[in-house]
């Protein structure tokens, strides 16, 4: 059994965060474990509040899992503060053979709530980028990391190269926020580029898309997929999950992590 660990915050609405990560791992045939960094108060409309875990608790969750169970990939999501970032880096830095780490640099929720403290961005780059095999910023996150506007695919390529120079070995700049054309992601493995294009899906129900994408990459890398193959398969999975998203709640509904399993079981996937 292949195993993946998510280090991220809890989403009380079940659509993003560790809940989305664990659903993704399960849907893709990987056993999922979690180290909780924070508990959020949120629903489909917005994030209302966050309560962080104590850094030593986050550190010890990670350490005790590595001490007991072989882990084949790690996904890092919301880490809001410098003490949490340092605790995660300390825990992972002691692992002799660290598996692939996929870092999703979560900064702001869809509703505009800051999920990364302003002074923590530099710490994220300093401590976690060097540990990451893959970093997966969306356009606003890439713009925040580099301090400049990214308006098209050529600029995304330049951004991927610059983010790689910050310490990440491989980079996926997600293009879902581009307002023109298809949903295009730029992949950079440190040497060359590849573009992933999928038709843009007309839906307002996209809660958890970023978390799901990065955890799907982690799941496929846990199964020893190459970088480009893992990202392509993750993109296909997320696209299907968005196509069958749920209209739940009064805001941005969640995507359907088990659409393929439901379909195989003969259950209506919407």
Q: Are 43 and 71 in contact (CB under 8 A)?
A: no
Asked whether residue 185 is assigned to any structural domain, the reply reads: no
Question: Considering its fold, how many domains does the chain have in total?
Answer: 1
Asked whether residue 84 is assigned to any structural domain, the reply reads: yes
In this predicted structure, the answer to whether residue 113 has a pLDDT above a threshold of 80 is no
Asked whether residue 245 is assigned to any structural domain, the reply reads: yes
For residue 215, the domain's CATH number is: 3.40.1190.20
- The torsion angles phi and psi of 188, rounded to 5 degrees, stand at -135, 125
- Going by C-alpha positions, the residue among 22, 79, 77, 74 that lies closest to residue 50 is 79
Q: Which residues are catalytically annotated?
A: 174, 206, 208-211
- For the entire predicted model, the pTM comes to 0.96
What range does the domain containing 237 cover?
3-136+208-264
Asked whether residue 178 is assigned to any structural domain, the reply reads: no
Asked whether residue 270 is assigned to any structural domain, the reply reads: no
Mean pLDDT is lowest, of 36-45, 215-224, 259-268, for: 259-268
- Going by C-alpha positions, the residue among 72, 161, 91, 159 that lies closest to residue 131 is 91
Per-residue model confidence (pLDDT) at position 32: 98
Question: Could you report the per-residue pLDDT of 19-35, keeping only the tens digit for each?
Answer: 999 999 999 999 999 99
Asked whether residue 69 is assigned to any structural domain, the reply reads: yes
Considering the chain, what is the average pLDDT of its residues?
93
Asked whether residue 179 is assigned to any structural domain, the reply reads: no
Per-residue model confidence (pLDDT) at position 200: 82
In this predicted structure, the answer to whether residue 57 has a pLDDT above a threshold of 70 is yes
- The torsion angles phi and psi of 12, rounded to 5 degrees, stand at -65, -20
In this predicted structure, the answer to whether residue 110 has a pLDDT above a threshold of 90 is no
**14 vs 20: CA distance, rounded Å:** 7
Asked whether residue 110 is assigned to any structural domain, the reply reads: yes
**225 vs 251: CA distance, rounded Å:** 35
Per-residue model confidence (pLDDT) at position 179: 66
- Position 180 confidence tier, pLDDT thresholds 50, 70, 90: low
């Amino acid at each position: 059994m292949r195993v993946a660990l998510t280090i991220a915050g809890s989403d009380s609405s079940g659509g993003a965060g560790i809940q989305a990560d664990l659903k993704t791992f399960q849907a893709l045939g990987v056993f999922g474990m979690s180290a909780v960094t924070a508990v959020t108060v949120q629903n489909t409309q917005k994030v209302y509040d966050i309560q962080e875990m104590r850094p030593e608790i986050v550190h010890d969750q990670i350490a005790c899992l590595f001490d007991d169970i072989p882990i084949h990939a790690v996904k890092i999501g919301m880490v809001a503060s410098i003490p949490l970032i340092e605790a995660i880096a300390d825990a992972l830095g002691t692992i002799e053979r660290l598996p692939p780490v996929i870092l999703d640099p979560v900064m702001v929720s869809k509703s505009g709530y800051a999920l990364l403290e302003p002074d923590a961005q530099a710490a994220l780059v300093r401590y976690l980028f060097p540990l990451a095999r893959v970093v997966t910023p969306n356009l606003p996150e890439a713009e925040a990391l580099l301090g400049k506007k990214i308006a098209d695919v050529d600029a995304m390529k330049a951004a991927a190269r610059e983010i790689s120079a910050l310490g990440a070995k491989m980079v996926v700049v997600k293009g879902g926020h581009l307002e023109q054309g298809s949903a295009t992601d730029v992949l950079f493995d440190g040497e060359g580029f590849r573009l992933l294009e999928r038709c843009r899906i007309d839906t307002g129900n996209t809660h958890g898309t970023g978390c799901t994408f990065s955890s799907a990459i982690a799941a496929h890398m846990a199964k020893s997929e190459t970088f480009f193959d893992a990202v392509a398969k993750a993109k296909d999975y997320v696209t299907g999950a968005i196509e069958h998203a749920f209209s739940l709640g009064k805001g941005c509904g969640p995507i359907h992590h088990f659409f393929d399993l439901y379909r195989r079981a003969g259950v209506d996937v919407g």
